Every structure is written in C-alpha cells, then in structure tokens.
Structure 1
C-alpha cells in the first residue's frame, strides 16, 4: 500500500504493539501499510537496530519523546536542558523531526502564573539548540480528568498561547485528539484554527483510548479536516487495541489512505 496521499499516519508501537519488540513492531507497521512509526523512550532502545530496521523497511521515525523532566520547576531546568540536548542528538541519529515533551505536574502551593513563566523561560532557553538542530520540540497538553491527574498543561489554548510567547519556529504543540476531546471538545475547530502551531497529532478512540472507530470521535471527518489544512506532519495512532492489533491497523490504513 502506498502512503496516504493527503495524510501521513504513524503508529506508536509502544502503545498499539506494546507486546512486541520494537523491531518486530516495525515489521508489522510496514506490513500494514504505514510509512512511519514512533515510540516514547529512545534511551532504553537499541537505536542501531532500529536504524537498521527502518532502512530495510523504508520507515520514518515520526516522533520520540525527550526525557521526562519538569518544565515548571526552575530547580530542574538544567536537567531538562541536558536531557533535551541528548534527545536532539538521538533524534538526529534517527532522522526524527519531532521531539514530544511533557511539561510536568503542577507544583502544589506555587502560583500557576509563576509556573507558566518558568515553562516559557525554559522553552526560550531551549529554542536556540532546537533551531540549530532543525528538530521541533512539541509540548503536549494532557487530560487530567482520567489519565494524568495533577498535570500542569491541560488545554490546547493555553499550550498555543505559551508557544506564541516563546516565538520559535522549533517550539510547537502536540495535539492529542483523545486528550483534548476529554479536556475541551471542539477538536476540529481548535486544531484547524491553530494548525500552524501544531507539529504532531495523536489519535485514539474516546472513551477508553482504544481503536479509532470505537467511541464518540468520528476520525474520518477529523482526519479530513486536518488534511484540508495542508498539514504536512504526521498523525500518530496512539491507542491500546481491544481487538487484534494487526487487523485494526490494516482496517484503519484502508480508510486513512482515502481521506
């Protein structure tokens, strides 16, 4: 199967294919017709084996995470930046264009505006090394209602306003459709109106975070809306399958290519 004409889909192998080794998962991703894959922690993977497999399978690494250090705590900013430097090098090794960053949990007893200022200052400090490398850092809002109680950055509008203040072409947002459906809804309007600030998407059915066709979100319409904007990045399928993973991936690939 050729890659989708209007939308590039990526499979998060740490979620959809969590019971397989990374290389075996990559083989299944390619067999199901996807052009790209992604995973979370590069630092506990055999990157040489992944590189060899991606060249053989002609797959792209769409995104990996940077190290999980808080951006709202100034006491660990140096640790965050050191981890980011290592992550940029890993992304370069993998020819990966996007690093996904969580921002950390809110700090109890600390004014929210103070934490926001800290987050922005950290991203501004990170921006030059990102711009020099060409890698894009994409901060990710997460829902606090079900999956990430206490997380600082919940809504996409706040994420967009933060990166507007950072004002770097290499600092953007990961828009997780599942998380934002829970946190705010209105996903098509919110993502299409801010698509230039989005470097990566994640997708899963809601409720449950399972296959795309399970639940209240109509992904053919959502993906068509993304494609209509001219978005050129990847949409990552990041869900935990209820049914056979390979069959579900093939089914999704069959309609994604028609978007």
Structure 2
C-alpha cells in the first residue's frame, strides 16, 4: 500500500512549494491535488523533480458525465487532463458524475454516466491512465450530487467493463452514506483504484472520529491492497500532527 497527501485539504491556502516541502519532510513520497487549472503545472513539475516526489492523482476538468450533451466537453477535458498528467508523471485521474438533473429519471442519468465512461475508457487505455469514479456523500458535503452509493459505483464500473476505469472509494464519504466500510472495500478490492481517508464526523485528522483507521489499514494490507491510500483531511490542529499520526499507521 502506498500513501499520498492531498495538499489542497491538508495544506489549504499554503504556498504550493512550501506544501510540497512539508509533504517530503513529513516522510511521504507522493501527493495529490484537486483542480489542475488552478495550479502552476510547470512550477509543480520542477518542484517534484527537485524533491523526488510523485503525483498520485488529481481531478479531470470539463463537462459532466451525468448529461449526455456534456460528454463532448468531458472527453475534451479528459484529454487535456491526461496531457497534464503525463507532464507530471501521473497515471491516475479522478472524475465525478456531476449533480443530479431535475426532471430526468435517475436510470437515464446513470445510463449517461456509463455511456460517458465507456467513451472515456479507450482514451484512458491508450494513454496508460486509470480513470477513477468517485461517489460522494450528499448529507454533509455535496448536496445534489448524483452518485453516493459505493455499490452503485461498483455496478457502473462493471457495466463499463474496462481495467482503466475504477472506483475511488472515499472512506469518509462512505462512512456517512452507508457504513460497513471494511466489508464494502474488501468485497470489491479489484474495482478500487484509489482510497481517500479522513476522520468522521468532521473530515479532520484520522485519529479523530468513529473510524478505527488502524484496523482499516491492517485489513487492506492483509487483503493485498497495493494502490494509493490518500490522506484527504482538513486539519483541526497543526497539519503536521495529523501527518505524524498517519505516518504511524504506515509504520506500525
């Protein structure tokens, strides 16, 4: 299992170079972020080379999967995102469905998501990229978002039928939405391309809240999970304290 730090949550509003230096000095070799259009990619490429860091993943930008009329923009945004990913040496990209559309049957919206991912799959495969579909919670953080259930996400991935399209399982979001975290992950491990983690409730450091992350990580290790485990928490104290605790889970 590999660990990465989301600089946009853990080091929010901090200068990128300073944030990446703190990632490295905290003992981590990989990081992730959200919107690449809001980053100086040339600067980032230079800094990660100097610090010997890897980019685990970031978000695609453009269009939505939930609306078929938007698929053209989504695919164009995917191609642009892949170009940026190649510059950063990153082979995994995150995508979301978009918000639920009023007045459109849910089944049609899910069909649109499947169709959009089927169109995206050969683009991702040709580039050697894995596209990650992320369910989010609507109760606290993302009201109106279409895809909340991990089981529905896994079903979508099965319908797409590509090794280059997988699920981003966010432990924090799924604890809010459905619970039963370890069983849900271990029963679908082959379909999970990336994990996100934060304390729940609150979305703060992993040591706070109801999720026993030591048990979660041990279960994943025992099951042979080998992809990234992303630290996407919002610090309630000094960010370094949260990373120290996470590091202790890496090296128990």
TM-score (norm 2): 0.98
Where does the alignment leave 5 or more consecutive residues of structure 1 unmatched?
1-6
Q: Distance in 2 between matches of 1:140 and 1:158?
A: 11
Q: Which residue of 1 aligns with 2:35?
A: 41
Instruction: Please list, as runs of the form range in 1=range in 2, the aligned pairs for 1:203-218 lying within 5 A after superposition.
Output: 203-218=197-212
- Partner deviation per Cα, 1:62-119 (whole Å, 9 max, x = no partner): 0000015320111111001100010111111111121010110011110111111111
**Residue equivalent to 1:136:** 130
**1-side partners of 2:193 and 2:202: how far apart?**
25
Q: Following TM superposition, by how much is the alpha carbon of 1:223 offset from its aligned partner in structure 2, in angstroms? A: 1.0
2:66 maps to 72
Q: Does residue 163 of the first structure (1) align with residue 157 of the second (2)?
A: yes
Q: Distance in 2 between matches of 1:230 and 1:52?
A: 33
CA contact (8 A) 2:3 2:28 kept: yes
Q: Decide which of 211, 234, 242 is 1:240's aligned counterpart.
A: 234
Q: Is the 8 A contact 1:220 1:256 kept in 2?
A: no
1:81 aligns with 2:81: no
* Separation of aligned partners in 2, 1:128 and 1:46: 28
Q: Determine which of 91, 109, 132 is the counterpart of 2:103.
A: 109
Mapped to 1, the partners of 2:158 and 2:245 lie a distance apart of 38
Distance 1:229 1:100 in 2: 24
Say which of 215, 221, 230 aligns to 1:227.
Answer: 221
- Give yes or no for contact 1:13–1:39 (8 Å, CA) kept in 2: yes
Distance in 1, matches of 2:63 and 2:198, equals 25
Q: Which moved more, 1:243-252 or 1:71-80?
A: 243-252
Q: Which residue of structure 2 lines up, in the alignment, with residue 4 of structure 1?
A: none
Candidates 51, 56, 73, aligned match of 1:57: 51
Q: CA RMSD in A?
A: 1.0
Q: Offset at 1:19?
A: 2.5
Give yes or no for contact 1:68–1:102 (8 Å, CA) kept in 2.
Answer: no
Counterpart check, 1:153 vs 2:137: no
Q: 5+ residue gaps in structure 2?
A: none
TM-score (normalised: structure 1): 0.95
Pairing 1:189–2:183 present: yes
Question: How many residue pairs end up in the alignment?
Answer: 252
Contact 1:98/1:135, CA 8 A, preserved across alignment: yes
Matched, 1:174 2:172: no
Partner Cα distance (2:115, 2:203) in 1: 33
Q: Report if aligned partners of 1:67, 1:80 keep a CA contact under 8 Å in 2.
A: yes
Give yes or no for the alignment of 1:22 onto 2:16. Answer: yes
Deviation, structure 1 residue 208: 0.4
Structure 1 ranges of 4+ moved more than 4 A: none
